[in-house]
Structure 1
Amino acid sequence: MGVVEVEVEGIGGASLPDCVLAGLIGNSIQASRTPRMHMDEGTALGFPYEYRLIDLPRDLEEAALARILADLEDAGYRGVNVTVPYKRDILTHLDALSDDAHAVGAVNTVLFTKDGRIGHNTDYWGFAESLRRGLPDVARDKVLLMGAGGAGHAVAHALVDSGVGTLLVCDTNRELATSLVSELNERAGAGRAELVEDVAEAAKAADGIVNATPVGMLKMPGMPIDGALVEPRHWVADIVYFPLETKLLAHARGKGCAVLSGAGMALFQAVRAFELFTGVTPDADRMKAVFDSFD
């Protein structure tokens, strides 16, 4: 299915696409809300939009991922979103990176263009926008980040760029955490990030706690941090959105903490990806209504 531009005016003066085919690459993604957000917005704007789920095994070989991307490109896909566990694996199969993807070191959106495959990271903007709207006035002197994977990289850079003084980075994979701390200090300045050696001490020093791990998802229940370390003075954010009320957020809410669910990041990364795939600015409130309709 190809994509053909027609001379119909869209939002902001852009022409509406005749048809768009896109998708999501990931593992265990059947519960994703993303397809309906994209397709319903395409319908609302007046053009056909098909968004497919490409659910792959977690242990997919590198060569298989390359073949899948080539097949999707040949099939006429405008691009694909990318989620766990391929946000960093995909990097070796791209021709260029946007500034945000280059800074973050992970990709969640790939555009197939005449100039090759271009990687973007809409998670970065999605989390930053969610934080700006949902917790605009919280203290940000020190923040504890749990998770330094693909999503963790995007969230980390968004936090630092949103005014966090020192980001305390923790991950069960020490190599990933160390690498992220080095990246942040190199880009934002020495001392902007620190490797967590003692989670209890880090939580005690932090104003906020952010979960950027999969822990809390239905397929991976639990909390990424000992609940006893969460205090009423903390604000707590989670990027998991299925379920919206993770065990961590329920626990934090019960202690009186200000909380931020993963809904905002999921919504705003989709808003930005929609614009990249179609060239048309979507209605964020309308896409939010679709997202909320799943509850």
Structure 2
Amino acid sequence: MAILTGKARLAGVIGWPVSHSRSPRLHGYWLDRYGIDGAYLPLPVRPEDFATAVRGLAAAGFAGANVTIPHKEAAFALCDTIDESASGAGAVNTLRFEDGRVIGSNTDGTGFLANLRQHAIDPSEGPALILGAGGSARAVASALRQRDINICLCNRSRDRAETLAAMLPSCTVIDWEARHLAVADHALIVNTTSLGMTGNPPLDLDLSRAGTDTAVADIVYVPLETPLITAARAHGLKTAPGLGMLLHQAVPGFAAWFGVTPEVDEALYRYVAADLLIP
């Protein structure tokens, strides 16, 4: 383990609660692997204290921070500058502090695309069917639309899907009940809902109509293999489980804060996955 000095670079993850976050384990692995003089801390911050805490971290010399539930929209509003990724997603999950300014980005979309590539899935073969209409759906949809991939949104509440579709060009919306039939018309199917997460019911989706080249991605990573991913594999489809997205979305922040672009490899996957298997 690296020894901290007075020159240590500091970052962390801000959430409420934050004890569930695997980000400290993930970034801690990279800090040790690359022998970096630095630390990455869990930072539990109540919503009403968020703005004060962020400015305090910047004043205390932190290099930046990740932002998780429920602060992503608050971070978007707080930032002095946001990049295109955050603008498209309407939320911020990564902060950098430079000369007293708070700079925000959203790495969920790039993390999602990197996870597809690692599983030999080419999203350009779209169109894509996205299940869900929350913040993660917007980040994924924005990343796909920036690559001119047509998108169909399907959410249990159609109104939320309509609202999201209005923010992005070339997006259509279908009713939740139509999702089974829609499978046949899409080359990429993405679950951005919490269905299938441990403690929640599984996503009910009939994959029998899927073409042989259809790919299925899930952003849920607890459990490591969701019922959707299990079903997709049973149908012989390409799959991208959610843990890879978590790992890849962390790369840009680590590189900005600690000056090293870390590698997402099998050893990292096993290290983080081992923690997820602990009850």
What TM-score, normalized by structure 1, do the two folds share? Answer: 0.79
Residue 212 of structure 1, aligned match among 192, 196, 210: 192
How far did 1:29 drift?
Answer: 4.1
Name which of structure 1's ranges 25-34 and 266-275 shifts more when overlaid on structure 2. Answer: 25-34
In the alignment, is the contact (CA less than 8 A) between 2:76 and 2:86 conserved in 1?
Answer: no
Distance in 1 (CA, whole Å) between partners of 2:182 and 2:157 is 17
Q: Percent identity?
A: 34
Which amino acid is the alignment partner of residue 83 of structure 1? T
5+ residue gaps, structure 2, are none
Matched residues in 2 for 1:92 and 1:64: separation?
14
Higher relative contact order (CA 8 A, sep 6+): 1
- Alignment correspondent of 1:193: 171
Alignment of 1:155-234 (within 5 A): 155-162=140-147, 164=149, 166-185=150-169, 192-197=170-175, 198-219=178-199, 221-224=200-203, 226-228=204-206, 231-233=209-211, 234=214
2:227 alignment partner, one of 247, 265, 286: 247
CA distance 1:138–1:93, shift in 2 (3 Å): closer
Q: Does 1:238 align with 2:227?
A: no
Residue in structure 1 matching 2:119, options 134, 141, 153 = 134
Displacement of 1:235:
2.2
Residues 11 and 64, structure 2, Cα contact 8 Å, conserved in 1: yes
Give me the whole-angstrom Cα distance separating, in 2, the residues matched to 1:163 and 1:264.
23
Partner of 2:43: 54
What do the CA deviations read for 1:125-170 (whole angstroms, capped 9, x no partner)?
Answer: 1111111221335783322101222221111122234553x21112
Structure 1 residue 72 and structure 2 residue 57: aligned? yes
Report the residue type matching 2:258 in the other structure: T
Amino acid paired to 2:173: L
Say which is worse superposed, 276-285 or 148-157, in terms of deviation. 276-285
State the Cα distance separating 1:278 from its structure 2 match: 1.7
- The answer to whether the aligner puts 1:23 opposite 2:7 as a matched pair is no
Counterpart residue identity of residue 172, structure 2: E
CA contact (8 A) 2:215 2:239 kept: yes
DSSP-derived class of the 1:284 partner:
coil
Q: Specify the alignment match of 1:38 in structure 2.
A: 27
Cα drift, residue 262 of structure 1: 0.9
In the TM superposition, what whole-angstrom CA distance separates every residue of 1:7-47 from its partner, at most 9, and x where no partner exists?
A: xxxxxxxxxx9312211123454343221221221222222
Match of 1:189 in 2: none
Q: Report the Cα distance in structure 2 between the residues aligned to 1:91 and 1:175, rounded to whole angstroms.
A: 23
One-letter amino acid of the structure 1 residue matched with residue 155 of structure 2: D
Residue of structure 2 equivalent to 1:148 = 133
Instruction: Quote the RMSD (CA, aligned, Å).
Output: 2.8
Distance verdict in 2 for CA 1:176–1:71, change over 3 Å: farther
Residue number in structure 2 paired with 1:100? 85
TM-score, scaled to structure 2: 0.83
Q: What is the rounded CA distance, in whole Å, between the counterparts of 1:158 and 1:201 in structure 2?
A: 25
**Letter in structure 2 aligned against 1:250:** T
| 8 Å contact from structure 2 (residues 58, 100) kept in 1 | no
Q: How far is the alpha carbon of 1:82 from its aligned partner?
A: 1.4
Where does the alignment leave 5 or more consecutive residues of structure 1 unmatched?
7-16, 186-191
